[in-house]
Structure 1
Amino acid sequence: MIPKFNEYKERFQMESKNTIEPGLDAITNALEKVGSPHLKLKFVHVAGTNGKGSTISMMNAMLQAHGIKTGCFYSPCFMDVHDQIQLNGAFISTSQLDEAFSRAKEAGLSGMLTDFELLTVLAFLVFEKFQPDIVLLETGMGGRYDSTNVISPLLSVIPSIALEHEQFLGNTIEEVATHKAGIIKPGSPVVIGPMEMKAEQVLMEEAKKTKSPVWRINKDFSLKNGLYEDTEGLNFSNLSVPLKGPHQINNAALAIKSVLYVAEKLKVDFVETTLRKGLNETFIPGRFEKITEYLYFDGAHNPASARALVETIKEYFPNTPVHFYIGMIRGKDTEKILRIFEEISMNFTFVDFDDERAMSANALSKISESNNVSVTKDLINSLSNTISEKQVTIVSGSLYLLSGVRLKAIRMFKII
């Protein structure tokens, strides 16, 4: 379910399919009906388990700082459907989405597509009208059969690969990597982040088949201690990554390498000071986001992102007690996520929140191995009673939980 998406569907009397069917035939046919808008655009395609949104956001900030007109497609949303499609960093407006829905309705797309396939078509229609210099396109799930994989990108980027969505992508790292590798296209370079050797080998084999240049982090380029270097002789010093956590250093390195290539392809003069300014201005809600000195929001909703969150907490709050507030969507690897969080804390409050797919707080409490567990239906009130300078409080799990309370939390507790 994409928040507020159904309001548009009801207004335009558009229906969606409920079942996900592998393959790209449906979206390809739909795009032909609306004039193949994706063929009139330039893309950077980003797939992976974690790091996609952060990498795109840093790329977007650096590209915009250079005066490059951008479109961004994110998955999932943070608050609602409007933040999934962004034009020069601004959320799509109601009138812009209305216009795209109108074209889709007139083309007879009702009932042809799943919600995400329909949203992908709508995004392409919006980008066609806006005509950005480059579109930064995030996959929804996987890559090879993801509805976004109907394009021929200037560049593909794969920040990380770990087990996820096993019912669709497979139970081994190699199977998941095979899906992600599907975004590598003939002759277009691919930038890849740190991952298990088994996953990297799958990507390298795909790149060999497609004769695509490969740039690997810490082999062909790196970012360490504020210094970016690559094998082409470029180096930039005194770089600061505003997003917290060691994993974000890797994402920033991927973003810089990608921006350098895109700027070259678009024949835009690259300026080091402008890159530094853009990178410094990157902000993403819900990515170890500081609400107060002792309250942070982070949407860690799979084991890999939970591991990244734990490592970030260890870095910024060593030897500090941690209180987790957790709300999750059904279908996630909840047991594994909680085992990771329990490595650094046994103090949990599980949260009931308003989403038809949400696990109940009581169900979550039964999965926990902690003896210090509580449940709440009122997160904000509960936070008011527990935030303390003696501990760090982390609200995590579903992005839909975070998006529903973030503005209330900011208003009540204020950002320091």
Structure 2
Amino acid sequence: MIPKFNEYKQRFQMESKNTIEPGLDAITNALQKVGNPHLNLQIIHVAGTNGKGSTISMMNAMLQEHGVKTACFYSPCFMDVHDQIQLNGHYISSQQLDEVFKQAKEAGLSGLLTDFELLTVLAFMAFEQFQPQIVLLETGMGGRFDSTNVITPIISVIPSIALEHEQFLGNSIEEVAFHKAGIIKQGIPVIIGVLEGDAEEVLVKEALELQSPLWKINKDFSFINGNYDNYEGQHISNLTVPLLGQHQLNNAALAIRTVLYVMDKLHININEDLIRNGLSKTFIPGRFEKITDTLYFDGAHNPASARALVDTVKEFFPNTPIHFYVGMIKGKDVEKILRIFEEISSNFTFVDFEDNRSMSSSALSKISESHFVYMTKEPLESIEKNLSKTHTTIVTGSLYLLSEMRLKALEMFGNHQI
């Protein structure tokens, strides 16, 4: 379910299925009906288990700092459908979304697609009208059979690969990598992050078969102690990444390498100061986001992102007691996620929140092995009572939970960075 999407569907009497149906036939047919808007766009395509949104946001910030006109497609939304389609850093407006919905209705797309396929088509239509110089496109799930994979990008980026969506992508890291590798196209470069050996082998094999240059972090380029270097001899020093955690430094390396390649390919002059400024301005809601000195929000909703969160907490709060507030949706590997969180805390409050896919706090508490388990339907009231200078509170799990709480938390606790 995409928040506020149904309001548009109802207004324009558009039907689409709230299901996941991997494959490209339906969206290819639909795009033909609206004039194939995706064929006229210069696109950076990003797939991976974690790090997609962060990498895109860093790239977008650096490109915009250079005055490059950009458009972004994110998945999933953070607040609602409007933040998934962004035009030069601004959420798509109701009027702009109305316009493409109207055109999709007139083209006869009602009933042909799933919700995500329809949203992808609408994004391409909005981008064609906006005419950006660069589109930054995030896959929804997997890559090979994801509805975004109807394009030929100017470069592909894969930050990470881990087990996820096993019912669709498979139960082994090699099977998941097969799906991610699907965004590699004939002769088009691909940039990869830190990957398990088995996953990397799959990508290397795909790139070789397609004669696509493959550039690997810490081999062909690196980001160490605020300095970026690559094999072409490019060097940029004194870089600051505002997003916390080692994984974000890796994402920054991928983002810089991609931006340098794309700007060169499109004959846009690169300014090192603008690279520095853009990177330093990157902000993403819900990525280890500081609400107060002792309250953070982070959307760790799978084992890999839970591991990244725990590693970040160990780095920045090594001797501080941690209190987790956790809400999850069904279908996630909750047991593995909680075992990771329990490495650094025995204090958990499980949250009931409004989403028909959410797990109940009582179900989460039964999976927990923590010594101190609480449950709440009013997390902000609970946080307000328990917030302390002596421990750090982290709200995590479903992005839908975070989006439900975030604006109220910022208002309650006095941080106005929205």
TM-score interval, smaller chain: over 0.9
Match of 2:45 in 1: 45
Match of 1:130 in 2: 130
**1:19-38 equivalence runs, <5 A:** 19-38=19-38
Match of 1:415 in 2: 415
Match of 1:211 in 2: 211
Match of 1:91 in 2: 91
Match of 1:398 in 2: 398
Structure 2 residue 68 is the aligned partner of structure 1 residue 54: no
Match of 1:10 in 2: 10
Match of 1:156 in 2: 156
**CA positional deviation for 1:90:** 0.3
Deviation per residue, 1:8-44 (Å, 9 max, x gap): 0000111112443332000000000000000011100
| 2-structure distance, mates of 1:33, 1:174 | 36
* AA partner of residue 242 (structure 1): P
| 2-structure distance, mates of 1:91, 1:20 | 25
TM-score by length of structure 2 reads 0.99
Match of 1:170 in 2: 170
Match of 1:70 in 2: 70
Deviation per residue, 1:76-126 (Å, 9 max, x gap): 000000000000110000000000100110011111000000000000000
Equivalent residue of 1:117, what SS?
helix
**CA positional deviation for 1:319:** 1.2
**CA positional deviation for 1:266:** 1.3
Match of 2:341 in 1: 341
TM-score by length of structure 1 reads 0.99
Structure 2 residue 289 is the aligned partner of structure 1 residue 289: yes
| 1-structure distance, mates of 2:353, 2:23 | 34
Match of 1:196 in 2: 196
**CA positional deviation for 1:371:** 2.0
| 1-structure distance, mates of 2:42, 2:143 | 18
Match of 1:246 in 2: 246
| 2-structure distance, mates of 1:21, 1:315 | 40
| 1-structure distance, mates of 2:195, 2:339 | 21
Aligned residues: 416
**CA positional deviation for 1:251:** 0.1
| 2-structure distance, mates of 1:291, 1:348 | 19
* AA partner of residue 262 (structure 1): V
Which consecutive aligned stretches of 4+ in structure 1 deviate over 2 angstroms post-superposition? 17-22
**CA positional deviation for 1:268:** 0.4
Which segments of 5 or more consecutive residues in structure 1 lack a partner in the other structure? none
Query: Percent of aligned positions with the same letter in both sequences?
Result: 73
Equivalent residue of 2:137, what SS?
strand
| 2-structure distance, mates of 1:11, 1:327 | 32
- Contact 2:173–2:199 (Cα < 8 Å) also in 1: yes
Q: How large is the Cα RMSD of the aligned pairs?
A: 0.7
**CA positional deviation for 1:309:** 0.2
Which segments of 5 or more consecutive residues in structure 2 lack a partner in the other structure? none
* AA partner of residue 173 (structure 2): I
Structure 2 residue 117 is the aligned partner of structure 1 residue 102: no
Structure 2 residue 277 is the aligned partner of structure 1 residue 274: no
Match of 1:331 in 2: 331
Deviation per residue, 1:181-213 (Å, 9 max, x gap): 000001110000001011001000000111100
* AA partner of residue 85 (structure 1): I
| 2-structure distance, mates of 1:387, 1:19 | 39
Match of 2:355 in 1: 355
Deviation per residue, 1:341-389 (Å, 9 max, x gap): 0000010000001111111111100110012000000011000011101
Deviation per residue, 1:134-185 (Å, 9 max, x gap): 1000000000000000000000000000000000000000000000000000
* AA partner of residue 365 (structure 2): S
Match of 1:258 in 2: 258
